[in-house]
Each structure stands twice: as C-alpha cells, then as structure tokens.
C-alpha cells in the first residue's frame, strides 16, 4: 500500500529537517508531526517544526521555516505552503486534493479505519471480573462497556485481542455466599433462622436457594458435613451468579473469549508453585506488618505472615501471601493468575479495574516485575465510579440493605444502546453522573439518539433517491472535487481523520474518543445536510453528494460498531 498523502508530505519535511541537523549531531532530531488546523484559513495541514528547530539552530522560527520551504520538495498535490503566525508552516492542497480518498471509504467499507491483524501482537485484556457473589451493578457496567470497546478498538488497529474474565470463585466471600444461600434454603423449608449482618441480604440469594431446592433434595444437604455442604452450595451459587452475570453481559452485547476460574489456580497447585518459586528466589520472609497509618483499626494485632518482598520492585510495603490461617491471600492467587497469562504467551496484558482497586496496581506490577522482569505489566486502567441519579436525585445505594440498582435494571429501563453510548462519552478518569431520566430521553439531551438519527437520516435520503429512480453512478466516475462548500469540506476532513483518531485512541487506550468523534461527525453532517441539497441538484453534484452521504453513513456505522451500539436505518 502506497504511503498516504499525509505521510508523503511528512516524509518530505522530515528529510529536510534531517539534513539541516546533519552537522549538529548533539541535537536530537525532532519528529515532524502534521496536524489538521482548526481553522480553514490555516490550510489543510500545519507543521510546527520550524518553532521546535529554532532553539537548536539559534535562528528565529520564521527564518527556519523559510529555509525549510526553500529546500523541500512536496508532492504535486500540495498547492502552496505559507509561513504564518510565530512560525507555523501551513500547507494547502489543491482543491479536491484529498477528496478522492472518499472513494476509498466506500471501497474499504467496514474495514475503513482498520489495519490488518498482527498475529505476533497478542494482548490479553481482562475486564469486568465482577465477583460471582451477586448481580452486576452499574459500575461494573461501565467497566464492561469500556473494556469491550477498547477490545474492539485494539483489534481494529491490529492487535490480536483476547478478552478474559477472571472469576473470583475462591476465598472467604464464597463461604459467605454459600452460608447465605444455605440459610435461605433452611428458611424456605420452614425452619426458623437468624440472618446475620455479614450475610448477603439481596433477594437474588433467595432465588438461588429456590433454584437449588428445585433440583436437589434438601435432606441430602442436611446430611452433609458442614464443610462439604458449604463447598457444594458455594459452587452451585457461583454457577447461578455467573449465569446471571453472563446473561446481563449478553443483553449489552458483551462476550469473552475465556472465563478464568480462580479456583482452578488453587486446584492445579499453581498458587502453591508460585509461592515456592518466590521462596526459591529468596523473595519471601516471615514478618509482621506495621498498622496502616491514618486508618483506625480497633482490633489490630500484629500477625506473623509470609510476606513477599514487593518493596524491592517498587511497592510501598511488603505484601502478605498467606493469611493467618495459612491459606493463600487473594493477592497470591492474583499474581499466579497474571503469571499464568504470561506463560500462556501474553507478554502484553491490560486490566480494567474499578477505581476502588487503585491501591492494588503497584503490588501486582511489582510482583510481575519480580517474576518476568517486565515493567508496568499489567497495564492497568482504572475506571472511576458511577453515581446513579434520577432527575438529579442520587440513589441511596446500600449493599447491606440490598437496595443497590443492578445493571440489568438500568439496561431494561433505558436500553442497551443508550447505556453503552453514554458510558463511552466520558474519559474513564472522570466520575460519571448517570441520570436515568436523561438517558431515557429520546432527544438532543441524549447523545446516542443524536448520532443514530444522523445515520438514519442519511439512510432515509438514500432510500428517497432510490425511490425517485436516481441511478447511483459508478464510484470511479464521481467527481468529488465538486464537494467544495465549507460544510462539505469540513465533513470530508472529519471522515479522512477517522483512521488517525482511531490510531490515537488505541495508542492511548482511550476508546471514549470514538464517541466524541461520532458526535462531532454527526454535527458536521447535520450542518452539511441543512445547507446542501442533495436530491434534485445538478446530476454530477448530486452524485458527489450522495457519495459523501454514503461515506458518512459508513464511518458512523463503523464507529458505532466499535462501541457496540447499533446504527439503525430507520428510527
């Protein structure tokens, strides 16, 4: 594939810059970066290279720019290059210089914006991983939506993406879950029980208890030894919860390549082996941790534990691998899990966690540094909390009282598309105020309908053209240089920048950029459509505008697909 026009221009400038600095080998050669100016007076592309060179060359920027322009040889499509402002070089292309690329959009269709998958570039993306002790809440939903979109984005940009869900089906919480269910089972049998605060209060526990009683005989559980009973019920309850979680994920269109069970790590001895491995590296010792500062712990008692020397790899304190009773901590299993991923061939891992797990990053990365020597693995993205409101009034959510709002309730009320798109409109670093009523509005207040409407509107125009017997010209016969109005030019520039936007979004792990891009694209389209009549104008112009509409619809469609949001043809 031949280099794009942008790359050609970039290279031409880079050659000049390299030669200008050839004598100054002490200076690091800056990389030429072409940007698309916000204002059309500043041309099609702008370069700030003269300003960055001014320092090292000890000349004023405009002078440097002149020297560059004197020697550079641009491709033919460049009409002119001016020096502007403090030393920008503004490059203007011949009219219609790039508009022919519009045709590529239709030729590449669903692949426009994508690059070929590099099989040697596998990445394991772990997200959601909600505990199998209850239904998913909206916070999980945000992580799920962001993770799925990131997976699509990375796949579009060439990564071989493996989506994975880690099931925390071991540890105390499963015991609590099992006990909660067992109590409800007894209660359903008419026995009088006392339900402790520590047990899970939600109604779903009763549902699970009923479900188990439907398929199994109560007396067989009664007859079991307590350990066995809790283990059996725990496994059944985890299965039930996972079935519920998978169903919730399905309703928002999310699937995984693999569900990885923590329990299997213990069962296969991998946790044990990992601890042994660290023992052999002399990275474990027995000691007691000091009490944490600034947090009151009434029953603090120093405990001798097996500690992992994570401080040697950048952590603040050493971390326990075994609890007081000798069983492995969650941390021990988690590094065994990441180690397992590594040995499955994933040199590159990305984890998406809720903000409440932020304190956990350093210790996992430290552990992986010890085990693999790799820095910053896994790459962890923290998604900030979601505050759910209705008409601005916050929900009082309490897990203890069982009054938290589940993801499925929200999806049922506002719909998958609205949930997904809304979650994608903000950076993951910002806390999200999600208002149920606003998300339900089918108007401009709700961005998802704005962008979907743009797509449906284009489809309507194309249908209309067909109804009126307009024969679409062959793509190669369309004269795209006729698309010369301000609105058309703006729209075209956006369409052409789509691959660049995707690339930046993938590199920065910021899939939300896709959503903001679509909103801007939809706005550019609406503005174009309002001022530029399509059907009924002179035939060549109409053909060109129809082509532009088709390309716009294609890009909106492609982008929405990455976000897992539908692009309806009618609404």
Partner RNA sequence: GCGCGGUUAGCUCAGCUGGAUAGAGCGUCGGCCUCCGAAGCCGAAGGUCACAGGUUCGACUCCUGUACCGCGCACCA
Site for RNA in 244-273 (CB under 7 A): 262
Q: Which stretch binds RNA (CB under 7 A): 151-159, 221-229, 239-247, 290-298?
A: 290-298
Select 137 or 221, whichever has its Cβ closest to RNA.
137
Does position 172 interact with RNA (CB under 7 A)? The reply is: yes
Q: Is 276 helix (H, G, I), strand (E, B) or coil?
A: helix
Residue 286, C-beta contacts closer than 8 angstroms, at least 6 positions apart: 304, 305, 306, 307
Please enumerate, as own/partner, the contacts of 109-116 that have beta carbons within 8 Å and a separation of 24 or more. 109/554, 110/554, 110/557, 110/558, 110/561, 112/498, 112/499, 112/554, 112/555, 112/558, 113/156, 113/498, 113/499, 113/502, 113/555, 113/558, 113/559, 114/156, 114/157, 115/156, 115/157, 115/158, 116/158
Does position 378 interact with RNA (CB under 7 A)? The reply is: no
Does position 234 interact with RNA (CB under 7 A)? The reply is: no
Select 76 or 443, whichever has its Cβ closest to RNA.
443
Does position 459 interact with RNA (CB under 7 A)? The reply is: yes
- Report the residue from 532, 543, 554, 566 that binds RNA according to the rule CB under 7 A: 532
Q: Is 307 helix (H, G, I), strand (E, B) or coil?
A: strand
Q: Which of residues 132-161 bind RNA (CB under 7 A)?
A: none
Does position 299 interact with RNA (CB under 7 A)? The reply is: yes
Closest contact distance (angstroms) between CB of 386 and RNA is 10
Q: Which of residues 17-76 bind RNA (CB under 7 A)?
A: 35-39, 41-42, 46, 48, 51-52, 54-55, 61
Closest contact distance (angstroms) between CB of 537 and RNA is 8
- Report the residue from 59, 232, 416, 516 that binds RNA according to the rule CB under 7 A: 516
Closest contact distance (angstroms) between CB of 89 and RNA is 8
Query: HEC string of 203-264?
Result: HHHHHHHHHHHHHCCHHHHHHCCHHHHHHHHHHHHHHHHHHHHHHHHHHCCCCCCEEEEHHH
Q: Which of residues 177-206 bind RNA (CB under 7 A)?
A: none
Select 221 or 435, whichever has its Cβ closest to RNA.
435
Closest contact distance (angstroms) between CB of 342 and RNA is 20
Binding residues for RNA, rule CB under 7 A, total: 102
- Report the residue from 394, 442, 481, 540 that binds RNA according to the rule CB under 7 A: 442
- Report the residue from 278, 335, 418, 456 that binds RNA according to the rule CB under 7 A: 456
Q: Is 269 helix (H, G, I), strand (E, B) or coil?
A: coil
Site string (412-441) toward RNA, x via CB under 7 A: -------------xxx-xxxxx--------
Q: Is 496 helix (H, G, I), strand (E, B) or coil?
A: helix
Select 299 or 474, whichever has its Cβ closest to RNA.
299
| CB-CB contact of 276 with 283 (8 Å) | no
Task: Supply the angle between the helices 101-108 and 539-563 in degrees, to the nearest 10.
Answer: 50
Does position 535 interact with RNA (CB under 7 A)? The reply is: yes
The tally of CA atoms less than 13 A away on the side-chain side of residue 145 is 32
Q: Which of residues 108-137 bind RNA (CB under 7 A)?
A: 131
Select 346 or 517, whichever has its Cβ closest to RNA.
517
> What DSSP string describes 477-494?
G--GGG--SHHHHHHHHH
Closest contact distance (angstroms) between CB of 407 and RNA is 18
Alpha-carbon span 231 to 177, nearest angstrom: 10
| CB-CB contact of 98 with 496 (8 Å) | yes
Q: Which of residues 83-102 bind RNA (CB under 7 A)?
A: 84-86, 88, 90
Select 233 or 307, whichever has its Cβ closest to RNA.
307
**Beta strands 45-47; 88-93: pairing state:** antiparallel
Select 277 or 357, whichever has its Cβ closest to RNA.
357
Closest CA relative to residue 493, chosen from 529, 454, 520, 455: 520
- Report the residue from 375, 464, 466, 481 that binds RNA according to the rule CB under 7 A: 464
């Amino acid at each position: 594939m031949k280099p794009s026009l942008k790359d050609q221009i970039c290279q031409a400038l880079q050659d000049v810059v390299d030669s200008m600095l050839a004598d100054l080998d002490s200076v690091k050669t800056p990389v030429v970066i072409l940007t698309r100016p916000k204002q059309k007076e500043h041309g099609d592309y702008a370069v700030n290279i003269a300003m960055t060179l001014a320092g090292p060359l000890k000349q004023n920027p405009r002078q440097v720019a002149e020297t560059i322009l004197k020697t550079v040889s641009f491709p033919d499509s460049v009409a002119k290059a001016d020096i502007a402002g403090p030393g920008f070089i503004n490059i203007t292309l011949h009219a219609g210089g790039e508009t022919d690329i519009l045709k590529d959009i239709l030729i590449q269709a669903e692949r426009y914006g994508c690059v070929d998958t590099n099989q040697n570039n596998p990445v394991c993306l772990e997200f959601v991983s909600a505990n199998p002790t209850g239904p998913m809440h909206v916070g999980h939903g945000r992580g799920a939506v962001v993770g799925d979109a990131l997976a699509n984005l990375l796949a579009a940009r060439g990564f071989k993406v493996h989506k994975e869900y880690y099931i925390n089906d071991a540890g105390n919480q499963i015991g609590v879950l099992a006990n909660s269910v067992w109590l409800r089972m007894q209660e359903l049998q008419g026995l009088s029980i006392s339900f402790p605060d520590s047990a899970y209060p939600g109604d779903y526990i009763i549902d699970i208890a009923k479900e188990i009683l439907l398929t199994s005989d109560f007396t067989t559980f009664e007859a079991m030894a307590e350990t066995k009973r809790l283990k059996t019920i725990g496994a059944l309850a985890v299965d039930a919860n996972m079935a519920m979680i998978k169903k919730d994920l399905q309703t928002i269109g999310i699937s995984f390549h693999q569900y990885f069970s923590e329990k299997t790590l213990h069962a296969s001895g991998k946790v044990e082996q990992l601890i042994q491995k660290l023992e052999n590296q002399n990275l474990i010792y027995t000691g007691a941790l000091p009490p944490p500062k600034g947090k009151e712990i009434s029953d603090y008692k120093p405990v001798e534990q097996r500690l992992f020397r994570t401080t040697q790899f950048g952590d603040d304190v050493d971390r326990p691998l075994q609890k007081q009773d000798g069983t492995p901590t969650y941390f021990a299993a988690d590094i065994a899990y990441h180690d397992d991923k590594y040995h499955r061939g994933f040199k590159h891992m990305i984890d998406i966690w809720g903000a409440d797990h932020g304190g956990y990053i350093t210790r996992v990365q430290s552990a992986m540094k010890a085990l693999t020597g790799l820095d910053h693995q896994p790459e962890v993205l923290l998604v900030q909390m979601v505050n759910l409101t209705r008409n601005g009034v916050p929900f009082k959510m309490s897990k203890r009282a069982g009054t938290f709002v589940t993801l499925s309730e929200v999806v049922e009320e506002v719909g998958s598309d609205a949930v997904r798109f809304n979650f994608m409109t903000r950076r993951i670093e910002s806390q999200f105020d999600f208002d149920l009523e606003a998300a339900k509005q089918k108007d401009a207040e709700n961005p998802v309908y704005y962008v979907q409407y743009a797509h449906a509107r284009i489809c309507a125009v194309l249908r209309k053209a067909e109804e009126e017997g307009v024969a679409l010209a062959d793509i190669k016969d369309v004269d795209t240089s006729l698309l010369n109005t301000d609105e058309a030019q703006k729209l075209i520039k956006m369409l052409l920048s789509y691959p660049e936007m995707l690339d930046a979004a993938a590199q920065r792990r910021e899939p939300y950029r896709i959503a903001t891009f679509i909103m801007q694209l939809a706005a550019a389209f609406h503005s174009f459509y309002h001022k530029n009549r399509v059907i009924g104008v002179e035939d060549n112009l109409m053909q060109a505008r129809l082509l532009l509409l088709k390309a716009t619809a294609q890009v909106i469609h492609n982008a929405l697909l990455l976000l897992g949001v539908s692009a309806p043809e009618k609404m």
